[in-house]
Chain A
Amino acid sequence: MAIAPSIAAPSDTDYIPVKRPFSFGRWFRATGWRHLIGAVMVVFSAFPLLYVLSASLHPGGTLITANGLFSQIDLGSYVTLFNLPQQPYADWYANTLLIGGITSAGTVFLGALAAYSFSRMRFTGRRAGLLMLVLVQMFPQLLAVVAIFLLLNGISDIFPAIGLDTQIGLIMVYLGGALGVNTYLMYGFFNTIPASIDEAAKLDGAGHARIFFTIILRLVAPILAVVGLLSFVGTTNEFVIASIVLITPEKQTLAVGLYQFVSQEFSSNYSVFAAGAVLAALPVMALFLWLQKYIVGGLTAGSVK
């Protein structure tokens, strides 16, 4: 910047703040180039999503017709999707919501119980318990998928209702991961709620159960929402365990069903798959964008001490 003249000829008028005339170069150096990067990133981020949306709107489309973006718009694929005899899409959808909903509710509940005791009570083995949670989350259930399959297979011989090819069995497996990273996240949040609130309630005659259910759970609602959502998204995305536990097509989830749909008739029936993908993504994305602030808060709360 040219500062020399102002030094050479200082005068009072120079220091009166006036609106400087717009200069493209200055604007570009300050924020304009940022918009350029932003535009590139918007294309990079949003393009695949627009592509799948456009593919889903192409009637009877294959992979090659999907390349003509938004050249034709028709909801035919969405109708076809629900009328495929071999692929019960509506069942997959309902199963995914059901399994995801129950798993995330159970995860939040079990995790909150554990986090409450770790945060508010002092007992022998507390530190060891917290350490164990940190260590256990290092070993995802995914690694023991063979053992999970054989365990459920063994349960099937005794109680077919909760063994292989049952959704209850799958939910139980998922709840095995309820403690772990979630509890750890909640534990940190519980610690930020002042213990004096509990003590005041205790003086007023409230028991531990009442304090937990009516006071604490309300105060920690944001973290419960975050954990619930992360667990729901995680369950929706889970493929490995769901694919070996659920065998009957009517019992499967979207991840398992859509993968098999794709591997069978990928390029010939692409618009139907795309319609399925759009519908599958909508609730998760809506939830995500709605709870975005909490999620960002939750993610950074775990990292920034």
Chain B
Amino acid sequence: MMTTPGTGHDRAQIVAAKRQRQASRIAEAASAGIKVLLVKVLVLGIVDAISVYALFVLFAKQDWLVFGLVLVVTVAVNWIYFRVKGLPAKYLTPGLIFLLIFQIFVVGYSGYIAFTNYGTGHNSTKDDAVSSLILSAQERVPDSPTYALTVLEQAGVYSFLVTDPDGDISVGNADSPLKTVTDAETDGSGQAVGLPGYSTLNFADIVANQEAIAAVAVPLSDDPNDGSLRTPDGSAAYLYLSDLVYDEAAGTMTNTGTGVVYTEDPSQGSFVAADGSELQPGWKVEVGLANFAKAFGTDSIRGPLISVTLWTFAFAFLSVATTFALGLFLAIVFNDLRMRGRNVYRVVMILPYAFPAFLSALVWAGMLNPQFGFINQVLFGGAEIPWLTNEWLAKFSIIFVNLWLGFPYMFLVCTGALQSIPGELQEAATVDGAKPWQVFRLIKLPLLLVSVSPLLIASFAFNFNNFNLIYMLTNGGPRDVTAGVNVGATDILISMVYKVAFVGASRDYGLASAFSILIFVLVALVSIISFRQTKALEELN
């Protein structure tokens, strides 16, 4: 503003501007219309109803952290949509909520998991581990009393209605120990046969669900050392006692059969005996940098990790280089107005891009099959070339199939970029006596690179994590048998994470997350470098 602040004229202007803003806000609010208001109230009502339900459930489960989070989010959402100001927030909130939970929170959560021993054998709390250990070590007590049994069912959960040898009747299920009931229906012999609110299973039902019923163990009391009732046949239950006795005060688990004492080890999250043997399952504990130490300190993991990292970079780089080279070459070849039928070629060449990528990899895996595939059988006359099982041929096959998948995209992009370069530049250069190759190398290519380099970087980032191609074509194989983790010669980092976490009998979420963190760091480094190069961030306005 040119006027000096504080003059009367200026103040009048400020007041006028304020009034105008007020007026426009009122007009805005008034023009929103009753329909919009109704929709708003309806949607918020649904959101609030779901939140209140969630809060009730969380209150019952006494999960206070999540309870607090849900409460804060619900209040914030209502505040944002019921106040008049803050219009941008109204447009941004829906997407942001999903972004915060499923993209930003999970990254932080990965970081946390990387510092735990989460995985097979360590995926629950200590209490769960104790009861599961005691339960799994249970044996039927010889000469134990027989309990007359009626199997009940309520909402898909089996309960045992038992009459003990003294004639007392009690009911319980896997989650709640036996407790005495008085309102059971009994038959002539005094055995309980039904309970209000439950349905009694008949013989046919028991036969049909035999396995599930045999797996039910009903604790006798709150103390897991008291043992539990099980039934082999659905008509009589017997007392089963565990060989393991848990002493909570001392933190030990004693095997009464062998006399071995297993002591709780909080750093490992399991019970360990003096000779080093461990009881499975254990429980989840924070282990600090143990996963990273395992990744970098164990020879059988460090070696594969390094070679996988190198191959990931090589694969991403070669993918971009080969597809860009072919795409650019084709764009130049077909960018000639004199040529007829260019559209036909173009449509056919886009087909690989339009075909779903996961299917392409599976189809190519069939064509490259060493014994029966088309390439070996027809093109190479029955030779058994191990396209997918030899380390180097598998790497070559991946680059080749990725070329098939990726060149159409580069072709489209380069065609667009070439056509946007003004024709006068070419004419001017030709007039100045430049040869076609010089025109291309010195004028067109630099201009083209300016516009496509962000896409090349994006393509590099995409291929860096191109899980589908690797996993569906070679499954990461051929497998490296010397490695301490499930990893093969063509695995890239992300497929290694997936295999460590989800494939095979033992899952190691902690180690997999540690690998994930490593990828995050690498991706961040690559992004920082590429941003410096392209100055993409400076173009934001």
Q: Residues on A close to B: CB < 8 A?
A: 30-31, 34-35, 37-38, 41-42, 44-46, 48-49, 51-52, 55, 62-64, 66-67, 110-111, 113-114, 116-117, 121, 123, 126-127, 129-131, 134-136, 138-151, 157-159, 172-173, 175-180, 183, 205-210, 212, 233, 236-237, 239-240, 243-244, 255, 258-259, 262, 266-267, 270, 273-274, 277, 280-281, 284-285, 288-289, 292, 295-296, 299-300, 302-305
The CA of A127 and the CA of B364, in the complex, are separated in Å by: 45
Contact of B110 with A146 in the complex, beta carbons under 8 Å: yes
| Cα-based distance from A206 to B366 in the complex (angstroms) | 59
- A284 with B356: in contact, given A63-B372, A173-B102, A289-B347 (CB under 8 Å)? yes
* One of B167-175, B212-220, B334-342, B391-399 contacting the partner: B334-342
List the A side residues contacting B378 at CB < 8 Å: 67
Given contacts A66-B374, A179-B99, A239-B467, contact A150 B109 (CB under 8 A): yes
Q: A76 CB to closest chain B CB, in angstroms?
A: 19
| Other-chain residue from A34, A41, A147, A179 in contact with B349 (beta carbon distance below 8 A) | A41
User: Contact between B57 and A143 (Cβ–Cβ < 8 Å)?
Assistant: no
- Flag if A127 contacts B94 (CB, 8 Å): no
- Chain B residues contacting A173 (CB-CB under 8 Å) are 102
CB distance from A162 to the nearest CB of B (A): 10
Name the B residues within 8 Å of A44 (CB-CB). Answer: 404
Task: Give bound CA distance, A143 to B95, whole Å.
Answer: 20
In the assembled complex, the Cα of A235 lies from the Cα of B272 at a distance in Å of 46
A176 touches B351 (CB 8 A): no
The minimal Cβ–Cβ distance linking A265 to chain B, given in whole angstroms, is 12
Q: Which residue of B29, B345, B348, B420 is within 8 Å of A300 (Cβ)?
A: B420
In the complex, are the beta carbons of B102 and A172 less than 8 A apart?
Answer: yes
**How many A-B contacts are there with CB distance less than 8 Å?**
303
**A207-B102 contact in complex given A110-B94, A239-B467, C-beta closer than 8 Å:** no
Known: A67-B377, A281-B355. A178 touches B524 (CB 8 A): no
Bound Cα distance from A37 to B333, whole angstroms: 8
Cβ distance B500 to chain A, nearest Cβ, rounded Å: 9
**Which secondary structure dominates chain B's binding surface?**
helix
Q: Is the CB of B102 within 8 A of A262?
A: no
Question: When the two chains form their complex, are residues A158 and B66 in contact, meaning their CB atoms are under 8 A apart?
Answer: yes
Identity of the chain B residue whose Cβ is nearest the Cβ of A30 in the assembled complex: B338
Complex contacts, B351 vs chain A, CB 8 Å = 45-46, 49, 285
Q: Judging by beta carbons under 8 Å apart, are A45 and B352 in contact?
A: yes
Closest B residue, CB atoms, query A234: B357
Determine the chain A residues whose CB is within 8 A of the CB of B350 once the complex forms.
Answer: 288-289, 292
A139/B107 in contact, CB under 8 A: yes
B416–A303 contact, CB under 8 A? yes
Q: Which residue of the partner chain B has the closest CB to A233?
A: B356
Whether B96 is near chain A, meaning CB under 8 Å from some CB there, is yes
Nearest B residue (CB) for A111: B95
Determine the residue in chain B with the shortest Cβ distance to A140: B465
Decide: B113 and A150 in contact? CB cutoff 8 A: yes
A235 to chain B, nearest CB (A): 11
Evaluate contact between A299 and B416: CB separation under 8 angstroms: yes
Q: When the two chains form their complex, are residues A48 and B404 in contact, meaning their CB atoms are under 8 A apart?
A: yes
B349 touching A45, Cβ below 8 Å: yes
- Contact status A138-B524, CB under 8 Å: yes
Of the listed stretches B8-16, B31-39, B137-145, B184-192, name the one at the interface; the rest are far from the partner chain: B31-39
Q: Cβ of A255: which chain B residues have Cβ within 8 Å of it?
A: 356, 358, 468
Q: List 8 A-B contacts (CB under 8 A).
A: A37-B333, A117-B88, A135-B527, A158-B61, A179-B99, A244-B502, A273-B362, A303-B451
Known A-B contacts A37-B333, A144-B107; the reply to A303 vs B352 at CB < 8 A is no
The 7 nearest A-B residue pairs measured at CB: A176-B102, A300-B416, A117-B91, A288-B354, A110-B95, A147-B109, A144-B106
Among residues of A, the one whose C-beta sits closest to the C-beta of B335 is: A34
Report chain B residues within 8 Å CB of A126: 88
Complex Cα gap A249–B333 (Å): 47
Q: Which residues of A contact B412 (CB under 8 A)?
A: 295-296, 299-300
**Does B540 count as interface, using CB distance less than 8 angstroms?**
yes
CA distance A51 to B513 in the complex (A): 40
B420 touches A139 (CB 8 A): no
> Whole-angstrom distance from the CB of A213 to the nearest CB of chain B?
9
Choose among B99, B356, B516 the residue that contacts A144 (Cβ–Cβ < 8 A): B516
The answer, among A178, A210, A274, A295, for a CB contact under 8 Å with B95, is A178
